[in-house]
Chains A and B, each alone.
Chain A
Amino acid sequence: MLNFTIRRLIQIPLVMIALSIIVIGLTQLLTPEQRAAPYIRSEQQAARLEQIITERGLRDPFPVQYGRWFSNILKGDLGYSKASNKDVLATIQERLPNTIELALVTAIPILLLSVWLGTLSALHKDKLIDQILRVVVVFGYSLPTFVLGIVLLAVFYAYLGWLPGAGQLDILNQFAVGDLKRYTGMMTVDAALNGRWDIAWDALQHMILPAVTLMIVLSANLVKVMRNSMLEVLTSDYVRTARAKGLSSRVVNSKHARRNALLPIITLGGFLVINLLAGSVITETIFAYPGIGQWFVQAALQLDIAGVLGFTLLSALLVVVMSTVVDILYGVIDPRVRFH
């Protein structure tokens, strides 16, 4: 297990380097003018295009440009993001806690809901409730996030007025939040630690619509997988044996069947973090939620290469770390799986 973990940890920087070469290499497909364009804010500034290209060495050979970027990385400088008007590192520090907060609020209900609905569907195979859930799953799976987000916003904010609209806090709390001492960067947690439960509650309310959007889209697949896994387990010999021993259905389903059916969910659950990050790109933009997803959209639209690269490397890091965690967890949960 230790060897396996060390090997996986060594892979992380190698993956990051390979990825950075690919991403920076891809940017070379753009002309120097296109890469300099994000620094131009008006027609009048077009006169400065060549000056920007020279200043930033955009005509230098690829190895020179990559070497410059890499040496800056070693100094802890990930570059300056035009999209956020801040250093990339500062931008990630400011925005990542918000995205993590939204992911946490979303991930736990997704996992609980998926396991519950998947089990329910499997236990009532081909009955009405199963049919309904299967239709709902297809519906959620095929809904584009941006459509669902806007529809939810229109219904629950604009039409019914039950939930707040875009943003992280109400107006008055935006002014009050300046007095908060920040510990984690996560609004609900920091507000609670400051004793400002009203702000924590407000922040939580603002997360409902983006979280529900992500939940509907992302839980569909998990429900489907849980249902199939549960169906497979329910027909296995040890479940039949358990029933033959006279154990109640409840005990058989929850202790014998569901526990084993959870294995694929653990794999997918690990990647749920990645999916939440990907989902945040659109969701945070629609709901003006100040996470890294919103920043990435702006960076991509503005050809902010430093920003795009920063987000990509962060995503890669999360993928590698999460897949490592999933592999380790597999070993812990399933005694049949062992690492040498």
Chain B
Amino acid sequence: MKKTAKKFAILSSLLLVSAALAASPTDTLVIQSSSDVPTMDPGVTYDTASSALVDNMYETLITYDGASLTKLVPLLATKWTPSNGGKTYTFDLRKGVKFHSGATMTCADAEYSFERNLVTNSGASGNWFIAEALTGTQSNAADDKTVTWAKIDKSVQCNAAGQLVFTLPAVDPAFLAKLAYTGQAIVEKAYSTKIGEWDGTEKTWKDWIGKDLTDSELSKKPNGTGPYKLVRADANNHLFQAFDGYWGKKPSIKNVIQQKVPELAARQQALLRGDADIIDGGGRSVDEAQVKGKPGVTWVDDLPNTTATAIFMNEKISGANNALLGSGKLDGKGIPSNFFSDVNVRRGFSYAFNYQGYIKDVQNGKGMQRTMLMPDIFPGYDSKVKTYTFDAAKATDYFKRAWGGQLWKNGFVLTANYRASAPASQTAMEILKKNIESINPKFRVNIQAKQWSEMLADSKKGQEAMILIGWAPDYADADNFMYTFYASDGYYSPRANWKDASVDKWLKQARSTINAAERNRLYSLVGNRAYEQAPYILVPAPVNYTFFSSRVSGAPLTKAGFNPMTSLYWKELSKK
């Protein structure tokens, strides 16, 4: 036994000594992330983790020019010409572009890609907005019988000159921005058909309506025109190599490996040792404490944030015997279902939220109070619109006016849910509760945690009194936010039930003109009206940041070159 132990000790020493480690090679970019990659099929890509890979393997017709959100430049197209009052777009396609399979891209591939997106258009994908532009409805043919093969076929066609022609049913000022979305990347028709995807014909299109492509054959065997091609994927790794046949400038970094490392400490240690170049962080407070300022790490702060978050105040709380309403009356033991329909209540709540306190406590001082529910870097954002501040006196004033003075006299008990295991949501609701209850001892706000899936479902049915929820952009256009939040038929409308005829009119006008100045004016009107009517409490937006190994550099990793609408393009990076 003693001999065995001795051998064991010697073997252990040998292993330790021989395991001298070296930092990752200069021609290989190592990315460690915490999340899974749900799909590599652009037709269904609708999440950050998938986009990060798809954007480097596939290409769209057009893309954003560097950090600009308003200037779009050709990628697989070389130019485009709008006509017919903005209802027709003709695209010249780049010649000599090769797919990873070796085939040359043709107009038929581009036509097939868009038709495939319109036919499949499942809830899992982001195709609803390109469908809205090309077929006039967000739905697929199964859910909306006006969507026919003829309509899909006519919306995108190749002409005799080999140009791709889009025919829109109505003007869509956001159409070009929608084309820059990852999901509208071009796939190869022949290859896709060969591996078992839709064959692109009228004969079979019905079999593919609404089909979820998450686990498609194309997801398993991707084939794009992008600068990197997939070499191999296993349980925890996706390996890529620079594509030799790429039409553009050859990437400086030859290999890219994206590893799934769920444990934050393991990712941090890999970054600090030089084994990983880019990692998923653990949130600002953690990253500032454990990574910022460490040798070999570059920290870039004050980057734009493109999400918008609000606390909704539901003006028509539905659900028979909804427990959130308490007595269902304004008798000091509950609230009526239309509690928030009085603008004075909404204003009182808006003045009761401590915006600066939230920025200081939750966002480590790195937050920004916006004037409208849209990113402040988007065209159409008006910084001159007034904002609410934490002001107990003003809140008191409005609460005294609410419900003809009954609110102040009788008090209320409101029960609001917040997303379980979401500290930021919990803190926001706690701030609101504390401040409102301190205004009048008869005011009580009960807050309770609830599973997010249930909150989403219940709020969609109008059954949540309040909900803190955000929106991330699909494309860089104000409409994607403004219509979603403020239109009475917008996506979030059932959660707030706020309806303003003027706002509806302005929003519809803004989405039917391509005059940028006019659109900005209309959005400004909406912003001002929303300030007056206070349908939402605007939660301050966190300031974005990023960090990475100092061995890596490139425009997208600088403040000047960072574009929040695109993934990190590896082709623009270099490593030393």
Question: Interface on A for B, CB 8 Å cutoff?
Answer: 31, 33-34, 36-37, 39-52, 80, 83-86, 91, 94-95, 98, 109, 112, 116, 119, 150, 153-154, 156-158, 161-168, 171-172, 174-175, 177-178, 204-205, 208, 285-288, 290, 294-295, 297-298
Contacts and interface: CB of A to CB of B under 8 A. Distances in A.
A294 B126 CA distance: 30
Given A45-B124, A49-B456, A288-B259, A154 B265 contact: yes
Contacts of B269: 153-154, 157-158, 165
Interface string B441-468: 0000000000111101100100000000
Interface centre among A33, A51, A112, A161 (most CB of B within 10 A): A33
Contacts of A116: 1, 4-5
B263 A286 contact: yes
A48 B124 contact: yes
A42 B454 contact: no
B455 to A, nearest CB: 9
Contacts of A112: 4, 8
A167 B46 contact: no
Interface in B23-72: 24-25, 28, 30, 32, 36-39, 46-47
Given A85-B37, A167-B236, A167-B261, A51 B270 contact: no
A208 B275 CA distance: 18
Interface in B1-33: 1, 4-5, 8, 15-21, 24-25, 28, 30, 32
Interface centre among B47, B123, B241 (most CB of A within 10 A): B123
Nearest to B470: A43
Given A47-B460, A158-B269, A168-B236, A41 B46 contact: yes
Given A112-B4, A158-B272, A208 B266 contact: no
A165 B275 contact: yes
Interface stretch (B189-197, B227-235, B243-251): B227-235
A205 B214 contact: no
Contacts of B452: 37
Given A162-B16, A163-B15, A165-B269, 12 more contacts: A31-B453, A37-B451, A43-B470, A44-B46, A49-B460, A156-B16, A165-B266, A167-B261, A177-B232, A287-B263, A287-B266, A297-B262
A290 B234 CA distance: 9
B237 interface: yes
5 contacts: A44-B46, A162-B17, A167-B259, A171-B25, A290-B234
A150 B235 contact: no
A260 to B, nearest CB: 17
B19 A205 contact: yes
Given A33-B457, A37-B452, A164 B19 contact: yes
Given A85-B38, A171-B28, A165 B273 contact: yes
A156 B19 CA distance: 10
Contacts of B457: 33, 46, 49-50
Contacts of B8: 109, 112
Nearest to A51: B123
Contacts of A44: 46, 126, 128, 471, 474, 491
Interface residues of B toward A: which range? 35 or more
Given A43-B471, A49-B453, A290-B236, A208 B263 contact: no
Contacts of B5: 116
B469 interface: yes
B270 A165 contact: yes
Which secondary structure dominates where chain A touches chain B? helix
Contact of B261 (A84, A166, A205): A166
B261 A288 contact: yes
Given A51-B123, A150-B263, A37 B4 contact: no
A109 B454 CA distance: 48
B260 interface: yes
Contacts of A295: 235
B239 A178 contact: yes
Nearest to A91: B235
A46 B457 CA distance: 7
B253 to A, nearest CB: 12
Contact of B231 (A52, A167, A168, A175): A175
A163 B275 CA distance: 12
Q: Kindly list the 8 A-B residue pairs having the minimum CB-CB distance in the complex, ordered from nearest.
A: A48-B123, A37-B453, A290-B235, A166-B266, A158-B269, A288-B261, A46-B456, A178-B232
B103 interface: no
A172 B25 contact: yes
A171 B454 contact: no
Nearest to A161: B21
Contact of B19 (A33, A109, A162): A162
Nearest to A289: B236
A98 B236 CA distance: 12
B451 A34 contact: yes
Contact of A47 (B21, B214, B491): B491
Interface in B306-321: none
A164 B18 CA distance: 11
Contacts of A36: 453
A86 B273 CA distance: 33
Nearest to B50: A41
A154 B269 CA distance: 7
A175 B126 CA distance: 33
A333 B262 CA distance: 43
B219 to A, nearest CB: 8
A44 B307 CA distance: 13
B249 to A, nearest CB: 23
Contacts of A40: 453, 456
A166 B263 CA distance: 9
A100 to B, nearest CB: 14
A26 to B, nearest CB: 16
Nearest to B44: A41
Contacts of A171: 24-25, 28, 30, 255, 257, 275
